[in-house]
């Protein structure tokens, strides 16, 4: 989920994209690996409607049960694993997104849940192996932080396979996305973050991992401690990311910076809820935490970097369009309605309206991105 947002960040991505290749015959296999992530998103949106208590296209007993893990490990995890496999430039690297995608598909079938859970755990472990190979190639702090995120994702998958309820393994899922995205932000914006940025981020990441372990063993004191670690990490990222400067630019840099800064805000909201309220294992505070992290932070970061994810992975153009601002704004406005009006003040109508708005924002962004890519593909060669 990386993108060159300024002159300080630009050199990292193009070199990797060129090295990774991008011949037209590579697009179809990579698209096939990315397809399960799209299916996971649609299934997750359907499950979200069921959990909101509003009509949904498909109604099954299992969908709401697997909603959270499906969105994180299969949807976000497959996107991350595919991008890292492209960076590795070895066929074996594509085993990770393949296993994560297959595991997510099995989870949706009537087959025993453990079959899909086992494949998800295997896919997450394969992603750890990809990072190990990347680490041997370049012993860089950004790779180390991302590898810690993959370890957290593997831990979450194994804990779920072992029967642990999702609310108790939630910090491991949070650690997966936060450390992965944080490590990639360091990879691109290291110069803007300062000469000691790598060492500081490794220390903050280590603190988050330690808090994850404590929260698993002793949820009472551990989850507030995890909230403190999350606040420290999100605060440092927000204060040192190049987005603080590119927010004053125009076009894609400004759009991406706005999405990233909003994402850091929501990550801070989740940390505050854990610190002030203690363990958030059910009810309104649990709803606020999971959606602040996985919608407000994670999806906002995906929106920010979508114009670089698809070109890097599939070698298709996805030019920035000002229309992308609309779904991003809707995402954060509807999430604010859900968390403030629904979770904080107890309005069921605000909670449902905000939740439906979240889903519309995701679908609208997909439609805008598809239109932008289609328009670019049909443009005359000279114009491109």
Answer yes or no: is pLDDT of 6 > 60.
no
Answer yes or no: is pLDDT of 384 > 70.
no
Q: Mean pLDDT throughout 36-40?
A: 81
pTM of the prediction? 0.88
Tell me what pLDDT residue 5 has: 36
- Take residue 40 and report the two structure tokens written for it: 């996971």
Tell me what pLDDT residue 45 has: 87
Report the share of the chain in percent with pLDDT over 70: 91
Quick: pLDDT tens for 143-184: 999 999 999 999 999 999 999 999 999 999 999 999 999 999
> In the structure, what pLDDT confidence band is assigned to residue 138 with cuts at 50, 70 and 90?
confident
Tell me what pLDDT residue 294 has: 95
Quick: pLDDT tens for 294-319: 999 999 999 998 887 777 777 778 88
Interatomic CA distance for residues 9 and 17, integer angstroms? 14
Quick: pLDDT tens for 373-383: 888 767 665 55
Tell me what pLDDT residue 20 has: 39
Interatomic CA distance for residues 183 and 249, integer angstroms? 24
Interatomic CA distance for residues 67 and 61, integer angstroms? 11
Tell me what pLDDT residue 21 has: 41
Tell me what pLDDT residue 25 has: 58
Tell me what pLDDT residue 26 has: 63
Tokens 């800064």, residue?
261
For the chain, the domains span 200-375
Tell me what pLDDT residue 237 has: 94
The 3 state secondary structure assigned to 77-106 is HHHHHHHHHHHHCCHHHHHHHHHHHHHHHH
Chain length of the chain: 384
Tokens 């914006």, residue?
189
Average pLDDT over the chain, rounded to an integer: 87
> In the structure, what pLDDT confidence band is assigned to residue 44 with cuts at 50, 70 and 90?
confident
Report the share of the chain in percent with pLDDT over 90: 58
Burial 227-263 (b: 16+ CB within 10 A, else e): bebbbbbbebbbebbbbeebbeeeebbbbbbbbbbbb
Return the closest-CA partner of residue 95 out of 108, 105, 81.
81
Tell me what pLDDT residue 159 has: 96
DSSP conformation letters of 53-84: TS--S---SHHHHHHHHIIIIIIIHHHHHHHH
Quick: pLDDT tens for 312-348: 777 778 888 999 999 999 999 999 999 999 999 999 9
Answer yes or no: is pLDDT of 100 > 70.
yes
């Amino acid at each position: 989920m990386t993108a060159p947002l300024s002159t300080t960040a630009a050199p990292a991505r193009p070199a990797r994209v060129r090295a990774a290749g991008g011949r037209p015959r590579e697009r179809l296999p990579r698209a096939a690996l990315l397809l399960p992530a799209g299916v996971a998103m649609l299934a997750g949106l359907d499950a979200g409607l069921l959990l909101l208590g509003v009509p949904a296209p498909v109604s099954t007993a299992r969908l709401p049960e697997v909603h959270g893990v499906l969105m994180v490990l299969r949807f976000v995890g497959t996107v991350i694993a595919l991008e890292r496999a492209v960076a590795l430039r070895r066929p074996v690297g594509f085993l990770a997104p393949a296993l994560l995608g297959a595991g997510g598909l099995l989870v949706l079938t009537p087959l025993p849940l453990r079959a899909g859970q086992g494949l998800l755990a295997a896919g997450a472990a394969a992603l750890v192996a990809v990072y190990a190979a990347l680490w041997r190639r370049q012993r860089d702090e950004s790779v180390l932080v991302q590898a810690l995120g993959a370890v957290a994702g593997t831990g979450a998958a194994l804990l779920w396979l072992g029967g642990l309820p999702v609310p108790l393994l939630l910090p491991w899922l949070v650690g997966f996305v936060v450390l992965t995205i944080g490590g990639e932000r360091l990879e691109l914006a290291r110069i803007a973050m300062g000469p000691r940025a790598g060492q500081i981020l490794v220390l903050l990441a280590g603190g988050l991992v330690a808090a994850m372990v404590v929260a698993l063993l002793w949820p009472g004191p551990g989850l507030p401690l995890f909230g403190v670690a999350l606040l420290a990490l999100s605060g440092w990222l927000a204060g040192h990311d190049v987005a603080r400067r590119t927010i004053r630019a125009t076009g894609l840099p400004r759009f991406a910076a706005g999405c990233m800064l909003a994402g850091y805000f929501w990550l801070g909201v989740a940390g505050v809820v854990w610190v002030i309220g203690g363990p958030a294992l059910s009810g309104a505070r649990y709803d606020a935490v999971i959606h602040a992290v996985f919608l407000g932070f994670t999806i906002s970061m995906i929106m920010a970097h979508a114009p670089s994810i698809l070109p890097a992975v599939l070698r298709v153009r996805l030019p920035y369009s000002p229309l992308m601002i609309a779904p991003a704004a809707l995402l954060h406005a509807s999430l604010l309605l859900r968390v403030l009006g629904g979770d904080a003040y107890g309005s069921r109508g605000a909670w449902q309206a905000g939740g439906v708005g979240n889903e519309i924002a995701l679908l609208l962004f997909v439609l805008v991105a598809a239109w932008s890519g289609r328009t670019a593909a049909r443009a005359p060669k000279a114009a491109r």
